[in-house]
Amino acid sequence: MNRIAVLTSGGDAPGMNAAIRAVVRAGSEKEMKMFGVRDGYEGLIAGNVVRLRARDVGGVIQHGGTFLGSARSEEFKTPAGRERALRNLREYNIEALIVIGGNGSQQGAYELSRVGFPVIGIASTIDNDLYGSEVTLGVDTATNIALEAIDRLKVTASSHRRAVLVEVMGRKCGYLALMCGIAGGAETVVIPEVEVRADDVARDILEAYRRGKNHALVVVAEGSDCNASVLKQAFVEHKDLLGFEVRTTILGHVQRGGVPSASDRILAARFGVAAIDEIAKGNHGVLVGIEKGQIVLTPLAEVVSNKKGLDLSLFQMSKLLAT
Ligand code: F6P
């Protein structure tokens, strides 16, 4: 296979640029003609394809986001949209496509590979909820960005003897919240995988107060039933019951826009090179991920039909350390 395209899709993740760079340079080294698709599957449907050479990906490694652009394409979910995309791939004589993205993006990759088009996925999402890779591209940076904000919030919370609720992203996965909670020294962590009521969180805050703490940090995953808005509403009137006044911060997209960490850049390089190596071997229909420090390949069919679990012993550990 000699004409290869790459696209980034879904929520951008720090390290996507580094992954595009790795794909383009590794492919060019193997005499492949490399192309970039703008704006994810939307660009594929529109035929927005550009030639990418080694020099075109210079100076991007240190930037968050994706210079190719990204999108969540509703049209690509339809057979007609995918047919248009396939037509464009044929038009440009593209022989294989590399899809850098998370669950929705790899579902799209699977749909293309199911009808016989050669696709390789690269595991990338700040949510770390993709089956087939214990760590996905962007998680490390997003965790560190959230943590920096949490550290700052803790400083002001302590000065005012307050409780602070910090909501982090992650969709229905509590990974980011749990890691931020452990690293930030949270008094309690609220994640979708463990059912809690506002009363339970209130009890944790009150216990922190009774133990003589001068703040209580609650890290909440956006996908929890008890998210920050629910908790805020439950607590706003109850300063006397909690001991502390409460303030709420929703970090939102701030977590996605950071400068990629060294770890994400290195992961991007490994993923990109591995994707090209597999294409050179004639392999496709798989996701490139990492397990126990080693690059692994998982069939896209398996990726889209499995759910990644969260190690709940880490949740217990966060509780143990909150005393
Ligand atoms: O999947 C990545 C993610 O950042 C989630 O954590 C979040 O829920 C979602 O994307 C936000 O999507 P959008 O950027 O479309 O608002």
The span from the CA of 7 to the CA of 20, in Å, is 8
Q: Give the integer Cα–Cα distance in Å for 175 and 169.
A: 9
Please list the residue range(s) of the chain that carry CATH number 3.40.50.450: 3-138+260-305
**In sequence order, what are the residues at sequence separation of 6 or more whose Cβ sits closer than 8 angstroms to the Cβ of residue 59?**
none
How far is C-alpha 72 from the geometric centre of its chain's CA atoms?
14
pLDDT reading at 237 higher than 90: no
Q: What is the pLDDT of residue 240?
A: 78
Q: β-strand 286-291 against 96-101: which pairing, if any?
A: unpaired
Options 3.40.50.450, 1.10.10.10, 3.40.50.150, 3.30.930.10; CATH for 3-138+260-305 is: 3.40.50.450
SS3 state of residue 59 = coil
| 140-256, CATH topology level | Rossmann fold (3.40.50)
Does residue 125 have its Cβ closer than 6 Å to ligand 1?
A: yes
Q: Using CA atoms, how far apart are residues 106 and 9, in angstroms rounded to an integer?
A: 9
List the residue whose alpha carbon is closest to atom 13 of ligand 1.
Answer: 11
Report pLDDT for 241. Answer: 85
Closest residue CA from atom 1 of ligand 1:
11
Is 264 designated active site?
A: no
CA distances from 286 to 135, 140, 191, 283, 317 (A): 16, 23, 30, 8, 34
Instruction: Report pLDDT for 238.
Output: 73
For a substitution probing ligand 1, which of 12, 100, 169 has the most ligand atoms within 8 Å of its CB?
Answer: 169
- Active-site option among 12, 39, 56, 127: 127
- Compute the mean pLDDT over every residue in the chain, rounded to the nearest whole number: 97
pTM above 0.95, yes or no: yes
Atom of ligand 1 nearest to the CA of 126: 2
Summarised one tens digit per residue, pLDDT across range 141-185 is 999 999 999 999 999 999 999 999 999 999 999 999 999 999 999
Residue intervals in the chain for CATH 3.40.50.460: 140-256
Q: What is the mean pLDDT of residues 128-137?
A: 98
